Amino acid sequence: MMDYWILVVDDDISNLTMANNILGAEGMRVSSVKSGASAIKFLQTNRPDLILLDVYMPGMSGFETFEVIHGDERTADIPVIFLTADDDSETETRGLKAGAMDFIKKPFMPEVLLIRIRHIVELTRLQANLAQEVEEKTKEITMQHRKLESLSVHIVMALSGAIDAKDTYTNGHSARVADYSRKIARMAGFSQEMQDEIYLIGLLHDVGKIGIPDAIINKPARLTDEEYAVIKTHPVLGENILKEITEFPKLVMGARYHHERYDGKGYPSGLAGEEIPVEARIIAVADAYDAMSSKRAYRDVIPQKQVRAEMERGKGTQFDPAFADIMLKLIDADTDYDMREK
């Protein structure tokens, strides 16, 4: 027994009766209408598993009826089998090209009718079930991916916190640099994906400081030349740490290149201009800004007016001028000087 619901559309009562007897004997639910207009009205409130549609009917032809059914998103996916007494191959070709699932010649043989209906309904149900399963799996994978992304961000934030904890005088530095970098990227017109990437890269830009002795990092005075030389090794140390994370190779860019200068006088590689990765050029501006707007062992927060002047002075030499200009706009919008270490 087949729990199918079939709509039969034919202007010939004998054909409707025959279809009803054949299909009903197999346990199918059968609904019959005598015109295309009646079929369209029926489908406004009903959804059968399959439609048997006569090609030649007075009023709306089968093809015209099919166009309406197929053009309505509510009924477009209901499979249609055309019924015709015509042996014209062009008619059959036209119907199949339009999107019909099959053609059956009238008068139809019961066995052929049942086999074709069963195959098409089961195929349609299989496709629907498969589509639903794919949709559910996609949602599940997307949810898992989001959870992993969230976990990754929390791990990176925890690591950046551990880095900052080494330095008594730069609490929250990495998080602020990451935040400023994302703001610059947003105002520069980068995609949301790029903004998120720059944020993560910014969080770990100073990871190499893990390898710098605490006595140097926390020295309550200016560093000697020898101590400064040790500090200058942290970009390479950071690169060596992060290069093992092959799933996100861009992390290396912030760690290695954030102390390069636009004029080529930075370290460790002496890159200049656009040789420096764009992520590092953004982070360099954010990093310098936070260094000036944060307390240090040997000084307090630099006044905002002076910070702005230093940022202006560094355009085209220390900083990429385009990103320095964006930081200047952020400074000008920060009338209460809230964008600093608290």
Q: Hey, which residues are catalytic here?
A: 209
Q: Which residues pair with 9 in a beta bridge?
A: 33, 53
Question: How distant is the alpha carbon of residue 84 from its chain centre?
Answer: 48
Question: How distant is the alpha carbon of residue 48 from its chain centre?
Answer: 36
Judged by DSSP in three states, 103 sits in: strand
CA–CA separation, 59 vs 69, rounded Å? 16
Whose CA is closest to 42, among 17, 15, 74?
74
CA–CA separation, 141 vs 123, rounded Å? 26
CB 263 within 8 A of CB 318: yes
Give buried/exposed letters for 176-204 (b at 16+ CB in 10 A, else e).
Answer: bbbbbbbbbbeebebeeebbebbbbbbbb
162: which residues sit within 8 A by CB, 6+ positions away?
210
Rounded to 5°, the CA angle 165-179-280 comes to: 90
Longest C-alpha distance within the chain, in Å?
Answer: 105
Whose CA is closest to 231, among 292, 167, 279, 282?
167
DSSP 127-181: HHHHHHHHHHHHHHHHHHHHHHHHHHHHHHHHHHHHHHHT-TT-TTHHHHHHHHH
